[in-house]
Amino acid sequence: MKNSNPANALVRQGPAKKPFNWIPPILIGLSLAYIILIIYIPAINVFYQAFHKGIEPFIANLTRPDFLNAVRITLSLALITVPINTVFGLCAAWSIARHQFPGRTLLLSIIDLPLSISPVVAGLMIMLLYGRQGWFGGWLQDRGIDIVFAFPGMALATAFVSMPFVVREVIPVLEEAGVDQEEAARTLGASDWQIFWRVTLPNIRWGLMYGVLLTNARAMGEFGAVSVVSGNVANTTQSLPLFVEETYKQYETEAAFSAAVLLALLAAVTLIIKEILESKTRIKDKS
Amino acid sequence: MSNVIPASLVKPKPAWKVWFDRIRNLSWTWRITWFYLSAMLFLPLVAMFTKAASDGWGKFWEIASSPIAISTYDITFTTSLIATLFNGLFGTAIAWVLVRYDFPGKRIIDASIDLPFALPTSVAGLTLATVYSDNGWIGSLFAPFGIKIAFTRLGVGMAMLFISLPFIVRTVQPVLIEMEKDIEEAAWCLGASDWQTFRQVILPPLLPSILTGMALGFSRAVGEYGSTVIIASNTPFKDLIAPVLIFQRLEQYDYAGATTIGVVLLLISLVLLLGINILQAWGQRYEEQ
């Protein structure tokens, strides 16, 4: 590498035995090759496959009624589960960060469970509760309420898998912000709500946004858990990730890639916002 | 956070009373937390374990150890393990390169490591299946040699490589950033070779985080469904993995079969989680100093 860092320059001035350090270029080359093979080629392929026959088939696929419905379902899922998980996440993060109690680490691990449980197992558990043979199945059926193979089941599955993100991201920023400012506000006569809106929330806003961002990405992109409980009925219980798989299985590869482009763009936007939020929190760390 | 309350201050109240008071005085944030966790997490877990226990231990064992179940564990765990070992090696190298060296485009490459996190798994499966198919960009390079990647176990492994890479990089990276460069330079000044410096100075504090990242990646690979179901042919005894078997059992309305394998998979994730926590505690011993 031509623009080597100061450390390399130091190394080169060292003993004459080491005229040039070959390790950095080799490691950089290997790492880049691996990233290109594992991540970049598949990512670029999404866009190539969607557009290699021009933009018209892409537009045509985007106006299919079943596609538009899948977009609607995916947006509805995110619109319902993200706020619920944000409220839960804030409550749980505040409770855990502001209290010391036995089993605190255990509780944190428990909240992280949905990330370790296989999405299929998550879907299975919802089937066992609300499915026809499930615990509440009979009760629900008597009242004509559909959860499994319908939108509510998909929302439950989505909420389950995206549960931990806000808690995980907010606890560290809450701990870092400390309690001093909140206590000062309290002694000055602020109510709990005032403290939350004017002191706590501004302090944790970047961490919270980070958590919400990850929750949203997972909610819109979840496949496994939703696939188990949805029954994958076109036009009614097909979210965008399910549409991708279903069209691919029906040999409508172009439709699959058109939808995939949309989801890949969502992922790209998520990563860009994530990067911005990370730089914000890093600046805060230094000040 | 380690402001531990001295035991002498807590002791006087009997334990049950402490708990009783705690529950009675629970703030509404705690109530929401416990209610949501109970409804969304504990209840489903209880439902699954009850269902698994309802048919008795004999039935459970019979399904859990049936030849097809054993073959799916074998395929799932061996493939995940191999993928994790590859990622452990290359992930650590990537983290090292991103922390220690400067090169053009570094920021974009750093940000794109998270792509497998952010990309929905069905999209990952779709594009991997295309890239590694016989006429795909990478698959076509191997097809002339008779090596099929998509719709075989090798494809499952490639999908697992894709989804678990960020875990290792993102776990090792912060530890490397924290690590003092002085110690390495000291070792080097004292006449240690590059290899000695790496083996005896860099690797020991890094090892817990590498293993933690590998365990996280392994855990993710074992549970992965979306990308693997699309790239695999899902043929029993060939490339059928445990999560897909659960799905197939559910499609056949075989709830007992699905639950049994689900419980096995869940117990394994719990063991892995425990291992990850132990590894993290082990890693922290370097931070104390």
Helix (H) or strand (E) holding B239: none
- For residue B131, give how far its alpha carbon lies from the nearest alpha carbon of chain A (Å): 6
- What pLDDT is recorded for position B160? 96
Residue B44 CA to residue A114 CA, distance in Å, equals 11
The per-residue pLDDT for range A1-18, each reduced to its tens digit, is 444 455 555 555 545 555
Indicate the average pLDDT of chain B: 89
Smallest Cα distance from A27 to chain B, Å: 7
Tell which of A21, A23, A124 to mutate to test the B interface (max B CBs under 10 Å).
A124
Q: Least CB-CB distance to A126: which of B28, B44, B113?
A: B44
Number of domains in chain B: 1
For residue B110, is it within any domain?
yes
Helix, strand or coil, per DSSP, at residue A189: coil
Q: How confident is the model at residue B287 (pLDDT cuts 50, 70, 90)?
A: low
For residues B197 and B232, give the distance between their C-alpha atoms in angstroms, rounded to a whole number. Answer: 43
* DSSP state letters, A5-57: -HHHHHHHHS-TT-SS--HHHHHHHHHHHHHIIIIIHHHHHHHHHHHTT-HHH
- For residues B118-135, give the mean pLDDT: 95
Closest B-chain CA to A50: B127
pLDDT (mean) for A237-246: 93
Looking at chain A, the whole-number percentage of residues with pLDDT higher than 90 is: 61
Distances in Å between the Cα of B110 and the Cα atoms of A275, B98, B196, B245 are 10, 7, 28, 36
Work out the pLDDT band at A51, boundaries 50, 70, 90.
very high
Residue of A nearest to B18 (CA): A101
pLDDT value for A178: 84
Residue B1 lies in a domain: no
- With vertex at residue A272, the alpha carbon angle to CA A261 and CA B206, rounded to the nearest 5 degrees, is 110
Q: Which two tokens stand for residue A54?
A: 């021009």
Angstroms from B220 CA to nearest CA on chain A: 7
CA–CA dist A30, B203 (Å, integer):
19
Give B68-90 as a DSSP string. Answer: HHHHHHHHHHHHHHHHHHHHHHH
Say whether pLDDT at B285 is over 80. no
Q: Name chain B contacts of A41, Cβ cutoff 8 Å.
A: 131, 137-138
Q: Is the pLDDT of residue A285 over 90?
A: no
Q: What is the pLDDT of residues A139-149, one digit of tens each?
A: 998 998 889 99
Find the mean pLDDT for residues B50-59: 88
Say which residues have a Cβ less than 8 Å from residue A15's Cβ, sequence separation at least 6.
none
- Phi, psi of A54, rounded to the nearest 5 degrees: 95, 180
pLDDT at residue A2, as a whole number: 45
Residue A111 near residue B40, CB atoms below 8 Å: no
Cα separation, A121 vs B51, whole angstroms: 13
The predicted-structure confidence for A94-146, as pLDDT tens digits, reads as follows: 999 988 888 888 899 899 999 999 999 999 999 999 988 889 988 998 998 88
Average of per-residue pLDDT across A21-48:
93
Structure-token pair, residue B172: 């090792």
> Tens of pLDDT along A249-260?
999 999 999 999
The Cα B158–Cα B234 span in angstroms is 15
Whether B289 has a pLDDT exceeding 50, the answer reads no
Share of chain B above pLDDT 70, in %: 94
| Mean predicted confidence (pLDDT) in A281-287 | 52
Query: In this complex, do A1 and B103 lie within 8 Å of one another by their Cβ atoms?
Result: yes
The DSSP letter of residue B1 is: -
Average pLDDT over residues A206-223: 94
The answer to whether the CB atoms of A5 and B36 lie below 8 A apart is no
Do the Cβ atoms of B160 and B79 come closer than 8 Å?
A: yes
CATH classification of the domain holding B97? 1.10.3720.10
CA torsion A158→A163→A166→A172, rounded to 10°? -150
- The residue count of chain A comes to 287
Structure confidence at residue A233 (pLDDT):
72
Q: Which two three-digit tokens encode residue B183?
A: 């110690």
Average pLDDT, chain A: 88
Indicate whether B173 belongs to any domain. yes
Q: In Å, what is the CA distance from B179 to each residue of A45, B38, B102, B246?
A: 38, 41, 17, 43
A252: chain B residues, CB-CB within 8 Å: none
Quote the tokens at residue B184.
Answer: 């390495």
Q: Do B136 and A45 touch (CB under 8 A)?
A: yes
Minimal CA separation from B113 to chain A, in Å: 8
Asked whether residue B51 is domain-assigned, the answer is no
* pLDDT score recorded for residue B114: 93
Q: Is the pLDDT of residue B142 over 60?
A: yes
Q: Which of A137, A3, A151, A135 lies closest to A72, judged by CA?
A: A151
Query: Alpha helices of chain A — where are they, by DSSP H?
Result: 6-13, 23-35, 41-51, 55-62, 65-97, 104-116, 119-130, 137-142, 151-161, 164-177, 180-187, 192-195, 201-221, 224-230, 240-249, 253-286
Fold of A57-286: MetI-like fold (1.10.3720)
**Contact map slice: A 102-161 vs B, CB within 8 A:** 105, 109-114, 116-129, 131, 133-135, 156, 159-160
pLDDT (mean) for A25-50: 94
Residues within 8 A of A (CB atoms), B 117-136 only = 117-131, 136
Range name among A258-272, B9-23, B35-49, B117-131 with the lowest pLDDT average: B9-23
- Lowest mean pLDDT across B81-85, B184-188, B275-279: B184-188
Among B33, B80, B220, most A C-beta atoms within 10 A, so best to mutate, is B33
Closest residue of B to A264, CA-based? B119
Query: Residue A100 and residue B4: Cβ atoms within 8 Å?
Result: yes
> What's the rounded mean pLDDT across residues B75-82?
96
Residues B113, A39: C-beta atoms closer than 8 Å: yes
Does position B67 have pLDDT exceeding 90, yes or no? yes
Q: What pLDDT score was predicted for residue B14?
A: 76
pLDDT average, residue stretch B141-152: 92
Q: State whether B122 and A223 contact (CB < 8 Å).
A: yes
pLDDT given at position B1: 47
Higher pLDDT pick, B180 / A84:
A84
Residue A87, pLDDT score: 96
Within-domain flag for B9: no
Q: Find the residue in B nearest to A251 (Cα).
A: B126
Provide the residue range defining the domain that includes B163.
57-288
Interface contact B111, partner A, CB < 8 A: yes
Partners of B47 on chain A (C-beta within 8 Å) are: 125, 128-129, 134-135
Residue A42 has pLDDT above 90, yes or no: yes
Q: What is the ipTM of this complex?
A: 0.87
Q: How far apart are CA B167 and CA A110, in angstroms?
A: 19
Of B109, B129, B219, the CB nearest to A35: B109
